[in-house]
Amino acid sequence: MTAIAEGSEGDHALTAGITETRLLGTDLVLVNLRLQPLDDSSLPDDLEITIVERNGPGDRDPVDAVLDEIDARSNINRLVIGMRRRSPVGKALLGSISQRLLLDSPVPVLAVKTPA
């Protein structure tokens, strides 16, 4: 499973998720945390891919959305997320979806950093 956040960290998570899916020989579940639908035109045709879309800004907490999908699917064996550097103040004030997923995921997490 790959959580696709806004920005370049979501793009890097998608690339890493595709690579990891091929390495593990599994299907790919993409949880789109962006507020616009995921453009699936560039996704590979050789993988079985399921896209889970959010319903907009009033939708549930993004972390809960990802964790609920993991709980609902017995075949999830890894979560791929993108991360970006944030200041300590930014983390304290805004929280971090990535940090919460790292701490609360019931499956191993592969965290990929965006290039500096």
pLDDT at 93 over 50: no
Residue 85 in tokens = 């550097």
Q: How confident is the model at residue 57, as a pLDDT? A: 62
CATH number of the domain within which 102 lies: 3.40.50.620
| pLDDT tens, residue by residue, 10-68 | 999 999 999 999 999 999 999 999 888 999 999 999 999 999 997 666 677 889 989 99
Q: How many CB atoms lie within 10 A of CB 71?
A: 10
Checking if the pLDDT of 116 tops 70, the result is: no
- Would you say 70 and 79 are in contact if contact means Cβ atoms under 8 Å apart? yes
* Encoded tokens for 57: 């800004």
Count of C-beta atoms within a 10 Å radius of residue 46: 8
Say what the pTM is. 0.86
For residues 114 and 35, what is the distance between their CA atoms, to the nearest angstrom?
Answer: 20
Domain count of the fold of the chain: 1
At residue 70 the predicted structure's pLDDT band, cuts being 50, 70 and 90, is: very high
pLDDT of 28: 96
Q: Which domain holds residue 10?
A: 2-113
